[in-house]
Structure 1
Amino acid sequence: MWLWVVWISTVAVAVAVQRFVAPRLTAFVEEGDERPDFSRLGTARHATVAGALAAAAGSVYLATPPEAWPAWFGYVALGAPLVYVDAHTTYLPNRLMYPMWVLVGAGVSLRAVADPWAGLASFVGAVAAYGVFWLVWRFSSSFGFGDVRLAAVIGAVAGPGGAVGWVWAFLVGTALGAVAAIAFTVRGRRLLPYGPWLWLGPLVAVWWPVSGS
C-alpha cells in the first residue's frame, strides 16, 4: 500500500510543480543570450508529460528498499520537472534545484537515523560528485554549472550503492548523454541539455546494476 501512496504522491508533486511553478521560473543569462521562455511550460500537456516521466522514474521504488524511498522521492518528484525544463530550455533553474537538494537531503537524513553508514555514503557521494564535476566545469566548457549542482544529488542517491554503484550511475548517465549528443549533431542541433541524461543515470543503474554494486 505504502508503495503506491509514495509513487502517486511523487507523480502528483511533479505535475503540480510543472503546472504552477515551471511557468514562473527565471534564469540568469549572459549578455546577448536569448532569455528562455518558461511561461509556455505550464500547460496541461507539459504537466502531463512531466507527470508521465515521474511515473516512469517512480518505478525505482520497486527496486529499492523502503528506507531509501524518501531520498528518491525528492530526486524524482522535483527532478522530473527540473530536467523536463532543461530539455526545453537547456537551463536547470535554482528555484527547482535547491528545493530538490533539500528534499533529497532530508530523505538521506531520515535514512541515516536507522542506517548511519548509508547516510555517510550519500554525503560522501554528493560531495565527491560535486567536486569532480566542479573541476571539469572549471577547466572545460563541457557543461553548465547547473549540471554541477545536479551531480550532487545524483551522488547522494547513488552513494549507498558503494563506489562501484556510484561510478556506474555516472557512467550510465554520461553514456546516455553521449548518445544524445550524437543524435543532436546528426539533427543539426548545437545545444545539448545534459541534465536529463545525467538524471536518468542512477535510475537506469538501479535496474541494470553491475557486479559488486
Structure 2
Amino acid sequence: MGSVELVPLASATVTAYTIAAVLLGVLTRRNLASLRYRRPSEADRPLPSSTRWVPPVSALAAALVSWCAMPNQWRSLLVATPLLAAGPWLAAVDIDVRRLPDRVLLPVAGFTLVAIVALAAIDPPVLLRALGCGFAGFAIYFALHLVSGGSIGFGDVKLAGVVGLVAGFHGLATVWWSFLAGPLLCVAWAVLTRRGLRDRVAFGPWLVAGLLVALVLT
C-alpha cells in the first residue's frame, strides 16, 4: 500500500476515533451527573461545576493524538487509548472530590500494561523502558506524597505511574515533556485563578494534560 493510499485511511481512522471519543464523552458526562462516584461522606458536598467541557475536551484530545499517531505510529495510539478514554472522567471526579477512584484508575493501568506487553513483542526493549518510566513516575510522586504530607494524593501517585508507562512506551522525550508540562500547567492555572499555597488543587487533570501535550509535541 503506497503513501497516497494511506492518507484516506489515516483520515478515516482519525475521524472514527474522534467520533467515538465524542460519544464516550457524552456518556461520561451523563455518568458524572449521577454522582455515583461520591462516597457517603461526600454526599453533602456542593454540586460540582459544569461538566459541559467533557465531550469537547474528549474530542479534541482524541483528534490531536490520533492525528499525530496515524498512520505510522498507530501502536502509540493503542497504548494511549485507555487513559485518553478515562482521563476526562478521572479529571472531573478529581476536581469535584479530590480523589481518583481505583475502580477506574486500576483497570486503566491494567489495560495500558496489557497493550504495552502485547506490542512490545515486536520490540522487547520498549517494555523495559515503559516499565522503568512507570516505576520512576510512581516512585517520584510517592516521595512527593510523603514530603507534601498528602497534598499530592496517593491517587496522583498511581496516576503518575500510568502516565510514566504510556510516556515511556513512546520514548524518553515524551517522558520529559509529560512530567514537565503537567506541573507547569498546574502552576499556571493556580496563578491565573489566584489559588493560595494552602489551597488543595486537583493535580490529576494536569498529569493527564501534561501527557497529552507530550504526545502531541513528540
2:114 and 2:21 map into 1 onto residues whose CA distance is 15
Q: What is the deviation of 1:152?
A: 1.0
CA distance in 2, matches of 1:11, 1:39: 27
Matched, 1:63 2:68: yes
Contact 1:123–1:156, Cα closer than 8 Å, also in 2: yes
Alignment match of 2:120 (pick from 112, 116, 126): 112
Aligned positions, number: 201
Which deviations, in whole Å up to 9, do the C-alpha atoms of 1:21-47 show, x marking residues without a partner?
66321349xxxxx62669966xxx73x
- Counterpart among 30, 55, 66 of residue 19 in structure 1: 30
The answer to whether structure 1 residue 35 and structure 2 residue 47 are counterparts is: no
Read off the aligned partner of 1:5 and give its amino acid letter: A
Task: State the partner residue of 1:199.
Answer: 208
Do residues 179 (structure 1) and 181 (structure 2) align?
no
In the alignment, is the contact (CA less than 8 A) between 1:13 and 1:78 conserved in 2? no
Change (3 A) 1:93 1:99: same
Deviation at 1:166, TM superposition (A): 0.9
Q: Secondary structure at the match of 1:114?
A: coil
CA-based RMSD = 2.8
Corresponding residue for residue 162 of structure 1: 171
Q: SS at the partner of 2:120?
A: helix
Q: Distance in 1 between matches of 2:75 and 2:117?
A: 11
**Alignment check: 8 A CA contact 1:68 1:107 kept:** no
Distance of 2:30 and 2:180 partners within structure 1: 32
Say if 1:127 and 1:188 are closer, same or farther in 2 by CA, change over 3 A. Answer: closer
Identity %: 26
Give TM-score, length-normalised by structure 2.
0.79
Q: Which runs of 5+ in 2 are unaligned?
A: 1-11
Name stretches of at least 5 consecutive residues in structure 1 with no aligned partner: 29-33
Does the 8 A contact of 1:70 with 1:110 survive in 2?
no
Moved over 4 A (4+): 36-41, 186-189
